[in-house]
């Protein structure tokens, strides 16, 4: 029954591919119900296999030694539940959000294909199938970012996303192949067991494989140095951004590292590297988020920063904390993106925060749900789920041998900055004078997901702790002072935000640390120059005469088809006579 879970959205993809011309309600129903059915199936299967170590279903053999098989263990249970749940809500939301788009069928088709690929990725029992799902989500990300392909900047953004993650994927593939050659298997469970036998802690092979997998994960999860594609990916439709670039695809890297956690435990240097990179990324993301004027770009940088937190936990050797933060982040970030979509639709596709204001009165439901999502994002103590997950990460970081005090301090600073930019965002969007009138208020397909996600953003933290403990993730005991300082940081940050931004002053706008430009000069210009230079290599003298010859014979032969009946008759008679003459001669 396990294969139903990815097969249902895949079926929806094919149905929409072939029958996408049938009416709006058909598209809406097919686009959403299959994902929802997949969610129900995930629920049923998870509950029936709750607490088991793992449950595997092998479908058939693909290449010798790798099969198409799916595995269910606590890690993948969390993933499939969150993915299908958030995807169902996003699909419901987009029935209203994309209702006047002419390519609705294409959108739902891509959405379903994405969900199917992501589910294949998390349920795969071997690394090759995981890689197939990995590529699938990369493809769907490209398709969805470039959904409105008539705008040229959208195409550029989609290419940027795809090429950047592709470069990282090469390293992932190298890692997978190396692992397969060394351990003679690609099945994950077998590989993890053999790793323990073959590699001692600190062996070179383990480091190499871990490094390659890490680079692959960094690309897909938009961490430094591969983070440049995510802010530009906001040119896609907002529901796609909510699902892909907030809740699911960008967490594929987190899933990979969590799944291969025993490998990283064997490579402590790589864990140090992860911690360093994650710490840098989370400060970078928060810093840049503070300087954005576009609402969705703030959320994009916020995603970069929050995933940095997850990577911090992974580097600290606490994959449970990372997965906990993944679930809460999925809920509140999807909520924030959907809310941003409501705001954008209400103001007629305007996402510039300095042109918003005073929306608290006009869109009260959106305001309250957005507020709850933001509370979870900053991690307001005790009342939001984000608090619990972020606290867990910071505690694990403090206690971990691979991390320690300095990453913890950076994490707390990051929380401060998070509170700063979130506070700024809320003040600019919802308070103050209204600049633009509302053109559309949201209806139930858009508000219902917001309400559900808001509820989960507040309470999922408290609810999840016993759930996760029953699944096997535990807590450690820790100093009270550490917890108090970490809890105070968001509150302090919010107070600062209020003081700094209550007058809605417009700062100087610079968007990035100009990393884009550096990449352009290092990679892109030399490549273009080199390919230009190599245009006239010596092969051209080989195939140009062939082309000329083909053109010549074409010009010659096309004169026989001139449409003149007399000519045709003559040719027929002449050939008949020639054949007879040939026979006579014989």
Partner 1 sequence: MISVPLEHSLILAGMLFAIGLFGLLLRRNLIFIFLSIEIMLNACAFAFIATGHHYGQPDGQVMFIFILAIAAAEVAIGLALALKFEQIFKTLDAQAANEMRG
Partner 2 sequence: MTILDGFFYANAILALITTLLALSAQNAVHGLLYFVMSVIALALSFYLLDAPLVAALELMVYAGAIMVLFIFVVMLLNIKYHERSTNFKKYLGPLIFALILIVEISVIISEITLQAAHTKIISIKDVAFNLFNNYGIGIEIASLILLSGLIGAFHLGKKRNIL
Binding positions for partner 1, rule: CB under 8 A: 558-559, 561-566, 569-570, 573
State the minimum distance, in angstroms, from the CB of residue 563 to partner 1: 3
Stretch in the footprint of partner 2 (CB under 8 A) among 1-9, 188-196, 252-260, 575-583: 575-583
Q: Which option in partner 1, partner 2, none does residue 561 bind, with CB closer than 5 to 8 A by kind?
A: partner 1
586 binds partner 2 per the rule CB under 8 A: no
CB 464 within 8 A of CB 388: yes
Residue 333's SS3 state is helix
**Helix (H) or strand (E) segment spanning residue 218:** helix 204-220
- Return d(Cα 372, Cα 207) in angstroms, integer: 42
CA neighbor of 339 nearest in space, from 35, 36, 97:
97
* Shortest distance, position 580 Cβ to partner 2, whole Å: 5
Judge whether 486 and 391 are in contact, CB under 8 Å. yes
Of these, 1, 463, 540, 574, which contacts partner 2 (CB under 8 A)? 574
Residue closer to partner 1 by CB (options 531, 558) is: 558
Using CB under 8 A as the binding rule, whether residue 584 contacts partner 2 is answered as yes
Minimal distance in Å, beta carbon 558 to partner 2? 22
Is the CB of residue 506 less than 8 Å from the CB of residue 432?
A: no
CB of 577 to partner 2, least distance (A): 5
Q: Which does 580 bind (CB under 5 to 8 A by kind): partner 1, partner 2, none?
A: partner 2
Our CB check for partner 1 shows the closer of 534 and 584 to be: 584
DSSP collapsed to 3 states, 254-266: HHHHHHCHHHHHC
Q: For partner 1, give the closer residue by CB, 531 or 561.
A: 561
Beta carbon nearer to partner 2, 102 or 566:
566
Q: 1 contacts which partner out of partner 1, partner 2, none, CB within 5 to 8 A by kind? A: none
Q: Please, what is the minimum distance in Å from the beta carbon of residue 167 to partner 1?
A: 50
Of 429, 423, 434, the closest CA to residue 501 belongs to 423
Compute the half-sphere exposure of residue 184: CA atoms within 13 Å on the CB side of its CA: 2
Q: How far is the CB of 362 from partner 2 (least distance, A)?
A: 58
Nearer to partner 1, 495 or 569 (CB): 569
Residue 584 binds which one of partner 1, partner 2, none, with CB within 5 to 8 A depending on kind?
partner 2
Q: Please name which of 52, 79, 80 lies closest in space to residue 254, comparing C-alpha atoms.
A: 79
Contact string (CB under 8 A) for partner 2, positions 513-552, x = contact: ----------------------------------------
| CB nearer partner 2, residue 405 or residue 576 | 576
Contact 152, 193 (CB under 8 A): no
Among 568, 570, 571, 575, interactor with partner 2 by CB under 8 A: 570
Given the complex with partner 2, which of 201 and 562 has the nearer CB atom?
562
Closest listed residue to residue 136, CA positions, set 148, 150, 123, 149: 123
Task: For residue 241, report the phi and psi dihedrals to the nearest 5 degrees.
Answer: -60, -40
Using alpha carbons, select from 306, 246, 322, 242 the residue that is nearest to residue 75. Answer: 322
Comparison of 547 and 580: residue with beta carbon closer to partner 2: 580
Q: Answer for the pair 288, 345: CB distance below 8 angstroms, yes or no.
A: no
439 binds partner 2 (CB under 8 A): no
- Any residues with CB less than 8 A from the CB of 362 and at least 6 apart, and which? 346, 434, 438
Residue 406 interacts with partner 2 (CB under 8 A)? no
Q: Which does 564 bind (CB under 5 to 8 A by kind): partner 2, partner 1, none?
A: partner 1
Residue 580 lies near partner 2 (rule: CB under 8 A): yes
CB 545, min distance to partner 1, A: 25
Q: Give the rounded distance of the alpha carbon of 286 from its chain centre.
A: 19
Q: Using CB under 8 A, count the residues that bind partner 2.
A: 7
Q: How far apart are CA 298 and CA 310, in angstroms?
A: 19
Q: How far is the CB of 562 from partner 2 (least distance, A)?
A: 16
252 contacts 311 by C-beta, under 8 angstroms: no
Contact flag: residue 581 with partner 2 (CB under 8 A): yes
Nearer to partner 1, 443 or 570 (CB): 570
581 binds, among partner 1, partner 2, none (CB under 5 to 8 A by kind): partner 2
Output b/e per residue, 260-278; b: 16+ Cβ within 10 A.
bbebbbbbbebbebbbbbb
Buried b (16+ CB within 10 A) or exposed e, 504-542: eeeeeeeebeeebeeeeeeeeeeeeeeeeeeeeeeeeee
- Could you say whether residue 573 binds partner 2 (CB under 8 A)? yes
Question: How far is the C-alpha of 13 from the C-alpha of 105, rounded, in Å?
Answer: 9
- Give the footprint of partner 2 on this chain (CB under 8 A): 570, 573-574, 577, 580-581, 584
């Amino acid at each position: 029954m396990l294969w139903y879970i990815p097969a249902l959205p895949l079926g929806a993809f094919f149905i929409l591919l072939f029958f996408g011309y049938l009416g709006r309600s058909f598209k809406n129903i097919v686009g959403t119900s299959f994902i929802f059915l997949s969610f129900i199936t995930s629920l049923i299967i998870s509950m029936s296999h709750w607490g088991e170590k793992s449950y595997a279903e092998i479908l058939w053999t693909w290449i010798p030694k790798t099969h198409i098989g799916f595995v269910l263990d606590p890690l993948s249970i969390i993933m499939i539940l969150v993915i299908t749940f958030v995807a169902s809500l996003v699909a419901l939301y987009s029935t209203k959000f994309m209702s006047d788009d002419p390519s609705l069928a294409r959108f739902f088709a891509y959405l379903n294909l994405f969900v199917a690929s992501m589910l294949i990725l998390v349920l795969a029992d071997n690394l090759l199938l995981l890689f197939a799902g990995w590529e699938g989500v990369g493809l769907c990300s490209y398709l969805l970012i470039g959904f409105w392909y008539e705008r040229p900047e959208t195409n550029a953004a989609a290419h940027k996303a795809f090429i950047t993650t592709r470069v990282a994927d090469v390293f992932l593939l190298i890692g997978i192949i190396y692992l397969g050659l060394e351990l003679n298997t690609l099945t994950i469970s077998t590989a993890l067991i053999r790793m323990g036998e073959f590699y001692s802690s600190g062996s070179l092979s383990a480091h190499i494989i871990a490094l390659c997998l890490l680079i692959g994960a960094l690309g897909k999860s938009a961490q430094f140095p591969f983070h440049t594609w995510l802010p530009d990916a906001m040119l896609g439709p907002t529901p796609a951004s909510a699902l892909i670039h907030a809740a699911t695809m960008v967490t594929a890297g987190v899933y990979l590292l969590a799944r291969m956690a025993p490998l990283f435990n064997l490579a402590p240097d790589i864990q140090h590297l992860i911690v360093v990179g994650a710490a840098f990324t989370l400060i970078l993301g928060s810093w840049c988020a503070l300087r954005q004027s576009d609402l969705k770009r703030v959320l994009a940088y916020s995603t970069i920063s929050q995933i940095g937190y997850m990577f911090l936990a992974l580097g600290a050797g606490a994959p449970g904390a990372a997965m906990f933060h993944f679930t809460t982040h999925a809920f509140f970030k999807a909520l924030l993106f959907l809310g941003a979509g409501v705001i954008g639709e209400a103001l007629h596709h305007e996402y510039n925060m300095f042109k918003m204001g005073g929306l608290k009165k006009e869109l009260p439901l959106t305001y309250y749900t957005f507020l709850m999502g933001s509370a979870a994002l900053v991690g307001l103590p005790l009342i939001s789920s984000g608090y619990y997950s972020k606290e867990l990460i910071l505690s694990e970081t403090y206690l971990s041998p691979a991390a320690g005090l300095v990453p913890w301090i950076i994490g707390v600073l990051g929380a401060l900055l998070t509170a700063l930019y979130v506070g700024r965002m809320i003040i600019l969007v919802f308070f103050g004078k209204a600049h633009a009138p509302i053109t559309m208020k949201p209806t139930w397909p858009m508000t219902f997901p917001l309400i559900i996600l808001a509820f989960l953003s507040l309470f999922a933290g408290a609810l999840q702790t016993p759930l996760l403990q029953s699944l096997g993730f535990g807590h450690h005991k820790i100093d009270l002072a550490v917890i108090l300082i970490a809890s105070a940081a968001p509150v302090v940050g919010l107070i600062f935000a209020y003081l700094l931004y209550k007058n809605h002053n417009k700062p100087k706008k610079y968007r990035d640390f100009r990393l884009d430009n550096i990449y352009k000069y290092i990679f892109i210009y030399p490549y273009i120059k080199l390919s230009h230079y190599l245009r006239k290599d010596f092969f051209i003298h080989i195939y140009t005469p062939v082309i000329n010859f083909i053109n010549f014979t074409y010009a010659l032969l096309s004169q026989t088809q001139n449409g003149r009946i007399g000519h045709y008759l003559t040719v027929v008679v002449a050939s008949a006579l020639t054949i007879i003459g040939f026979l006579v001669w014989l």
